[in-house]
Amino acid sequence: MTAISVLGAGAFGTALAISLARDGRAVTLWARDTGDMTARRVNTRRLPGYPFPESLAVTSDLAEAVSATIILLALPLQQLAPFLEKNRAAFGSQTMVACSKGIDIKSGRGPTEIIRDICPRATPAVLSGPSFAVDIAAGLPTALTIAADDPEPLQRALTTSNIRLYRSTDMIGVELGGALKNVVAIACGIAIGAGLGESARAALMTRGYAEMTRFARARGAEPDTLAGLSGFGDLALTCTSEKSRNYAFGLALGRGEKNDDSITIEGRATAQAVSNAAEKVGIDMPVAQIVVAIANGLVTIPQAIEILLSRPLKEE
């Protein structure tokens, strides 16, 4: 049986490890600090209430974890490059599956490009799609996309009793769908938090999806990929549920409330990275730019509405 390790014991990484181990696979969950997870057999800090299956091992020994054939990288995207740079000597020719969503704010790279650049002997892949950690850990049905140059072996290895995987060879499209939808989710949260209504949210989702597709195509993605689970599917989920950290962040902005700085909001960094990249090549990204402006306190919400509504009229 293929050995699998999950690096990163946040809620999502823990949930993936639980789902994989629940089916009897040999799974190792790595964290810098395992805390009481080894003794209590539950991640009380990040995913309380979901005990670990017997076949799930927990370790803080990176060398032990990276001995697996398949490594799922469930680290926040902005931490991925520094982590791999620091520990590059530990990695060899394993298959490394990026499970984080976003674009590196410093370099503009997505997760598979980061893997290729830092760990050139590894085989990169990306796992993305509409999913909440609590649903996966609870055994609720979830459908995701696994993308790689040869995704079929990974599809077989990582499909579980409650996670159905669809395969793709469009790694760029899959990772950008997961990254860009977070930006739109923040915008939708702002709209609802500010009391702008459901119609405004629908408009932002639709025009935000157009932005996602425009940017992804310019990066070499297949347009059809954005219509799948990792694009439209994830967009629908994260723009409508307060379980989404990015949507909840937008709600707080819209309501004028202070956000919890301890929670990772990948969409905020991605919005800045996307805006920077789009400006360099002349791609129109008004929703991303407005999210950056509001999140950084450069414009008020009334000013943002005026900016968006006063844009030149055009065909859809």
How far apart are the C-alpha atoms of 205 and 26, rounded to whole Å? Answer: 40
**Average pLDDT along the chain, 316 residues, taken 10 residues at a time:** 92 98 96 94 97 97 96 97 97 97 96 98 98 98 98 98 98 98 98 97 97 96 96 98 96 91 90 95 95 96 95 88
Tokens 């002349």 sit on residue = 282
Active site residues: 181
How far apart are the C-alpha atoms of 36 and 47, rounded to whole Å? Answer: 13
Sequence-separated (6 or more) residues with CB below 8 Å from residue 201 = 188, 191, 192, 239, 240
Within 13 Å, how many C-alpha atoms sit on residue 270's CB side? Answer: 29
What is the pLDDT, as a whole number, of residue 215? 97
β-bridge mates for residue 56, sequence order: 27
Structural domains of the chain in order of their starting residue, each with its CATH number: 4-169 (3.40.50.720), 180-309 (1.10.1040.10)
Tokens 């997870």 sit on residue = 37
- Kindly state the tokens that stand for 82: 């520094």
What is the pLDDT, as a whole number, of residue 35? 87
88 secondary structure, DSSP code: G
What is the pLDDT, as a whole number, of residue 310? 94
What is the pLDDT, as a whole number, of residue 49? 97
Query: Closest Cα to residue 183, out of 46, 276, 66, 75?
Result: 276
Q: For the purposes of burial, counting CB atoms within 10 Å of the CB of 106, is it exposed (0-12), middle (13-18) or buried (19 or more)?
A: exposed
Please state, as a whole number, how many other Cβ atoms lie within 10 Å of the Cβ of residue 108: 14
